[in-house]
Each structure stands twice: as structure tokens, then as C-alpha cells.
Amino acid sequence: MPNDTSTSTRATVTGAAIGLSIGLVVLVTGALLLRAYGPGNMWAGYLTGASLTLVAAGFAFWRTWRRPAAATTAERAFTPVADERDRRVLTSAAAILGGFSLPLTGIATVLIAVGSDPAPVLAILLWGLLAVFVISFVRANRSM
């Protein structure tokens, strides 16, 4: 009978493989749909962003599987091996992001409604929300 460590490792690797496989299916399907029906080269941007996300997720899973002691809080927080502190840091960062997202999205909506070009407004909104999440994650990680 296998010990708990090998069963846990097998479950983690299986879960990561299934998650990355589903992500790859979503990536290809979305890119094909956007290439056929999306405006301009939106599919290329989607393909780039989704590919980078899958690579980052794969890297995080690999680091937590191969060298769990060397994995960072960010890598552990997005994988099944996260402990209570990692989950608390992620929950805190997500709560701060949620608090900022509603007013920032409202400001972006008003800017678009008064005639601003939607593409730069939405780009600034997305990058701003990403910055809020990263800053809140780092701050929560250092304070807990």
C-alpha cells in the first residue's frame, strides 16, 4: 500500500495535468473562435496572454512539485499545496482587489460613456487592477 506522500504527490501531479490540459483546450478553442469571429488580431493577443498564463501556471506547479521548500508564497497560493497562511494571503489580496475593482470599473464606465476611446481606458483598467492585486499580495505576504 502506498504511503500518503506518494498518493498526495500523484494527486497533485494529476490535478495539475488535468488543469493544464483543460487550459490548453480553452486556449485553442478561444483563439480559433476569436480568429473566425473577432475583430482584427484580437485572437493573437488572446493567444499570447493565455499562453503566458498557462506557462506561468505550469512553472508554479512544477516548482511546488519538484522543490516545495524553495517555492514562493505566490507559487504555493495558486496550487493545491498551499497552507493556511498562503490561502490567507491570497484571500486578503483578492479582497483588496475586489474593493478596488468596483470603483475603478465605475470610473472606466463613466470615461467611456463621455466619449473616451474604450481601448486605452480598458487597458489602463486591466493593468491598474493587476497592479492593485500584485501590490496587495506583496503587502499581505509581508504583513502576515
Q: Are residues 89 and 33 in the same domain?
A: no
84: phi > 0 → left, psi -120 to 50 → alpha, else beta; which? alpha
Q: Are residues 11 and 73 in the same domain?
A: yes
Distance, CA of 42 to CA of 56 (rounded, Å) = 21
Q: Residue 11 burial (CB < 10 Å; 0-12/13-18/19+)?
A: exposed
Q: Return the pLDDT at 77.
A: 86
Q: Are residues 94 and 130 in the same domain?
A: yes
Q: Are residues 27 and 44 in the same domain?
A: yes
Distance, CA of 72 to CA of 18 (rounded, Å) = 23
Rounded to the nearest integer, the mean pLDDT of the chain is 89
Q: Return the pLDDT at 67.
A: 81
Number of domains within the chain: 2
Q: Return the pLDDT at 14.
A: 80
Q: Are residues 3 and 62 in the same domain?
A: yes
Q: Which domain holds residue 110?
A: 83-144
Q: Contact at 8 Å (CB) between 92 and 135?
A: no
Helix locations, 38-117, DSSP H: 42-66, 73-77, 84-113
Distance, CA of 24 to CA of 37 (rounded, Å) = 20
Q: Are residues 121 and 52 in the same domain?
A: no
Q: Are residues 93 and 52 in the same domain?
A: no
Q: Are residues 7 and 73 in the same domain?
A: yes
Distance, CA of 97 to CA of 87 (rounded, Å) = 15
Q: Are residues 76 and 87 in the same domain?
A: no
**Parts of the chain with a pLDDT under 50:** 1-2
The pLDDT tens digits of the residues spanning 61-103 come to: 888 888 878 888 988 888 777 889 999 999 999 999 999 999 9
Q: Return the pLDDT at 1.
A: 44
Written as one letter, the residue type at 85 is R
Q: Are residues 6 and 52 in the same domain?
A: yes
pTM of the model: 0.73
Q: Contact at 8 Å (CB) between 137 and 90?
A: yes
Q: What does each C-alpha distance from 124 to 94, 118, 131 come to in angstroms?
A: 19, 10, 10
Q: Return the pLDDT at 9.
A: 65
Q: Are residues 8 and 40 in the same domain?
A: yes
